[in-house]
């Protein structure tokens, strides 16, 4: 079990750190903001959120629905208890791993044989649990769709604080069987990528293989998601980094093995629980609960990313000025940090303005303006916007805001990357080519 610290004044790494109720169909359809063009939340008062996630495998013979539901509700109870113990209040959001209700047996067969309907024990169990703990719960399963379709989806059901069904996400990017060409044991793909308006903010959901495709992540960013629950068998930690940065959201992974992690909008892992050798083989766990497999973390959805400056002094300036009314995590290896307010009457933007400090997005925009004035040629994505949208919203003080979606993301620095995006070395080479699908740039040797 790992528990992250409260969003406090300290810049020290958190414990466990390795070294908004229906689909929001009325969400504005502005273009996906680029990294430096993302909409800041720093002008909003503090919005602390506590999330809980887990690393728990579900391979092997299914124990029966009653026993499986008992195990899953035990996980929710444990996470709730940890939140109460370490933060003095309950969870806002609990995220369970992909297919947690159904699991995956051997042989698997057609997905219809091991899917469950929402109506009945599944709905009754988690409605009670969400109401009991007054928290949102993301429940993944192969969902037997209502008649007359007689089909199944790899789905995640979101239960609201009052036990209501707050929404359902159906996995869009299903795994394609390399031998039979079937979509995930006969499941049907989802057609929508909704964002759910929860009491704490806007939540998006992605499932496993969705990570490998940009579509869902861009849709979530376009619709204003602030947190993305990523339910997955695969415990990836490299691909989520550019997703978190480009989408400007927190990503909560809930997995079967290796690790469960929380990524912040800087791309950094805030906290993480990892598989220990003493836990044994993940495929042999069955319906047994693991020890030290849960993760609880608090963070603030009203934050600012602030770059290095001589006056900032890695955050010390804000600590000297505001004491424990400000919190941050500053990363010297990235020359930037994420900052938030602990003062219910003051925003982090007000704090920064009082010290003449700028957010990273402001500095980048200023640099872009100066480059234009100086006649510096801009990259192709600046010259070829593929979508522009203006919208007027009371959320932004009734001011008209224009957002442009460009064709490419800015090229990253020349770093040699491995086949999965990992940094191999920082050798500068003569030529590099950015990937057009929001992936890291690969150096062409």
**pLDDT of 382 above 90:** no
Give the pLDDT mean for 200-219: 97
pLDDT of residue 385: 41
How many Cβ atoms are within 10 Å of 426's Cβ, its own excluded? 9
Tell me if 194 sits within 8 A of 23, measured CB to CB: yes
Structure tokens at 321: 């000025």
pTM: 0.80
Give the pLDDT mean for 314-327: 98
**pLDDT of 245 above 90:** yes
Angle at 357 between CA 353 and CA 360, to 5 degrees: 115
Assess whether the previous peptide bond of 107 is cis (omega < 30° from 0).
Answer: yes
Structure tokens at 217: 């992540």
Strand 423-425 versus strand 303-307 pairing type: unpaired
Give the pLDDT mean for 216-231: 96
Strand 195-197 versus strand 400-406 pairing type: unpaired
**CA pair distance 23, 15, nearest whole angstrom:** 34
Q: Using alpha carbons, select from 395, 403, 321, 399 the residue that is nearest to residue 357.
A: 321
CATH numbers and ranges of domains, the chain? 2-31+47-300 (3.60.110.10), 303-376 (no CATH)
pLDDT of residue 238: 95
Question: Read out DSSP for 10-65?
Answer: --SPPTT------B-TT---PPPPPGGGPPP-TTSPP-EEEEEEEB---BSS---H
Q: Using alpha carbons, select from 424, 414, 421, 413 the residue that is nearest to residue 437.
A: 421
pLDDT of residue 65: 94
* Interval 163-198: pLDDT, tens: 999 999 999 999 998 888 989 888 999 999 999 999
Angle at 191 between CA 189 and CA 197, to 5 degrees: 120
* Interval 325-355: pLDDT, tens: 999 999 999 999 999 999 999 999 999 999 9
Neighbouring-strand partners of residue 255: 55
pLDDT of residue 46: 98
pLDDT band at 19 (very low <50, low <70, confident <90, very high): very low
């Amino acid at each position: 079990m790992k528990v992250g610290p409260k969003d406090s004044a300290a810049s020290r790494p958190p414990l466990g750190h390795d070294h908004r109720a229906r689909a929001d169909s009325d969400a504005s359809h502005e273009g996906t903001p680029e990294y430096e063009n993302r909409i800041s939340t720093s002008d909003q008062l503090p919005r602390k959120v506590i999330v809980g996630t887990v690393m728990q495998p579900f391979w092997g013979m299914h124990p029966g629905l009653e026993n499986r539901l008992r195990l899953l509700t035990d996980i929710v109870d444990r996470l709730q208890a940890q939140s109460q113990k370490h933060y003095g209040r309950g969870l806002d959001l609990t995220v369970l791993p992909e297919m947690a209700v159904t699991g995956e047996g051997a042989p698997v067969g057609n997905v219809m044989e091991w899917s469950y309907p929402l109506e009945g024990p599944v709905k009754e169990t988690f409605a009670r649990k969400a109401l009991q703990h007054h928290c949102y719960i993301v429940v993944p399963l192969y969902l037997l769709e209502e008649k007359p379709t007689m089909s199944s989806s790899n789905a995640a059901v979101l239960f609201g604080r009052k036990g209501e069904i707050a929404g359902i996400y159906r996995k869009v990017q299903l795994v394609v069987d390399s031998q039979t060409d079937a979509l995930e044991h006969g499941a049907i793909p989802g057609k929508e990528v909704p964002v759910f308006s929860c009491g704490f903010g806007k939540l998006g959901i992605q499932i496993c293989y969705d990570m490998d495709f940009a579509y869902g992540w861009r849709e979530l960013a376009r619709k204003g998601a602030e947190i993305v629950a990523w339910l997955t068998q695969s415990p990836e930690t490299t691909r989520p980094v550019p997703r978190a940065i480009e989408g400007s959201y927190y990503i909560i992974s809930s997995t079967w093995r290796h690790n469960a992690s929380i990524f912040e909008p800087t791309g950094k892992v805030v906290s993480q629980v990892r598989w220990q050798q003493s836990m044994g083989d993940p495929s042999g766990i069955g319906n047994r609960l693991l020890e030290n497999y849960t993760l609880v973390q608090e963070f603030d959805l009203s934050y600012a990313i602030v770059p290095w400056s001589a006056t900032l002094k890695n955050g010390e300036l804000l600590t000297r000025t505001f004491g424990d009314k400000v919190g941050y995590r500053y990363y010297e290896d990235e020359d930037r940090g994420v900052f938030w307010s602990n003062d219910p009457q003051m925003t982090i933007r007000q704090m920064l303005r009082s010290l003449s400090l700028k957010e990273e997005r402001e500095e980048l925009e200023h640099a872009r303006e100066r480059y234009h004035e100086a006649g510096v040629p801009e990259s192709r994505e600046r010259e070829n916007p593929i979508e522009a949208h203006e919208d007027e919203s009371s959320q932004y003080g009734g001011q008209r805001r224009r957002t442009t979606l460009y064709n490419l993301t800015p090229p990253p620095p020349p770093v040699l990357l491995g086949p999965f995006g990992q940094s191999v070395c920082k050798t500068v080479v003569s030529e590099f080519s950015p990937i057009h699908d929001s992936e890291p740039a690969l150096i062409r040797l």
